[in-house]
Amino acid sequence: MEWSKANIKARILQGEGHRNDTLKSVGEDMTLNVEKSESTYHNLKIFLQPQIVTFFAIIFATFINGPSYPYIGNLIWLPLGAMSLCFLLFDYKVVLAALLATHFADVWFHSAPMMMTQDTIVQHIAAVIAPIIAIASMRFFKLSNFFDGGKVVFQHLLFLAILTALFNTIISFFINSYIASKDAAMEQINATVFIKNYLIGDLLGCLVVLFFAALVIVPAIKYFSPKSVPMV
């Protein structure tokens, strides 16, 4: 009888041990799932934030810039500056957001059709590629130290604005000239007027946005969130 009681007690203890192990395993699984969910949310947040900022920055710049004159040029073209700033801060991972913003800005503010044609796709790609080439060129020649220890290197920002405006003017001239040449009803582009207007408008747009960011946005970030100061 004594052996039977001991046996029963042992079995009870063994059952409790198994139950504790099961609860511990369940708890570990729940903790692991929570950690995975938090990690997924964190990664998604890191990916989406730059895309959203880029999209709305370009949309806002296009909105306040006013009408667009793609075959003549604008006196100032802020979207190019906004795009340059976003590529500068977030690198090339925001290319898709920049392309979408360029298209929807044309649809919403310049009465462009929602369905893109081959010509509009090429024009949108051209608008996005100029800042990328400019920044890549400056990095290649080691002139891309735009923020040094939290301080803005204005010489590099100025050179970036000039280079971006130059690339965008050249690319836009050849693409728009080709598009205009296909349509007999369109007036052919005056190269001198086009290059002068584009170069001035693009340069002013880049300078306004980049220097506004350098003089206002970066100091504000440095004041409110020092760890978030761009170190590009």
Distance between alpha carbon 195 and the CA centroid of its chain, in Å? 27
Q: What predicted TM-score, i.e. pTM, was given to this entire model?
A: 0.78
Note the pLDDT of residue 175.
93
Contacts of the segment 125-130: beta carbons below 8 A, 24+ positions apart? 125/99, 126/168, 126/171, 126/172, 126/175, 127/79, 127/80, 127/83, 127/102, 127/168, 127/172, 128/83, 128/95, 128/98, 128/99, 128/102, 129/167, 129/171, 130/80, 130/164, 130/167, 130/168, 130/171, 130/172
Structure tokens at 24: 């511990």
pLDDT, one tens digit per residue, over 164-201 is: 999 999 999 999 998 888 877 777 888 999 999 999 99
Determine, yes or no, domain membership for 66: yes
From CA 26, how far away is CA 166, in angstroms rounded?
A: 62
Q: Of the candidates 154, 160, 172, 151, which has an alpha carbon nearest to the alpha carbon of residue 86?
A: 160
Q: Of the candidates 131, 74, 120, which has an alpha carbon nearest to the alpha carbon of residue 98?
A: 131
Note the pLDDT of residue 166.
96
Determine, yes or no, domain membership for 41: no
Note the pLDDT of residue 47.
86
Which CATH number characterizes residue 98's domain?
1.10.1760
Find the domain containing 56 and state its range. 50-228
Note the pLDDT of residue 80.
96
pLDDT along the chain (232 residues), means of 10: 50 53 57 64 83 94 91 91 91 93 94 88 92 92 70 82 95 91 81 94 95 81 60 52
Determine, yes or no, domain membership for 140: yes
Determine, yes or no, domain membership for 201: yes
Determine, yes or no, domain membership for 8: no
Determine, yes or no, domain membership for 19: no
For residue 124, count other CB atoms closer than 10 A to its CB: 20
Note the pLDDT of residue 222.
67
Note the pLDDT of residue 96.
94
Determine, yes or no, domain membership for 172: yes
User: 2 pairs with which residues across the strands?
Assistant: none
Note the pLDDT of residue 1.
46
From CA 95, how far away is CA 93, in angstroms rounded?
A: 6
Q: Let me know: does 231 contact 107? Beta carbons within 8 Å.
A: no
Determine, yes or no, domain membership for 68: yes
Note the pLDDT of residue 227.
59
The tally of domains found in the chain comes to 1
Note the pLDDT of residue 224.
65
Note the pLDDT of residue 26.
56
| Angle, CA 122 vertex, CA 120 and CA 126 arms, to 5° | 115
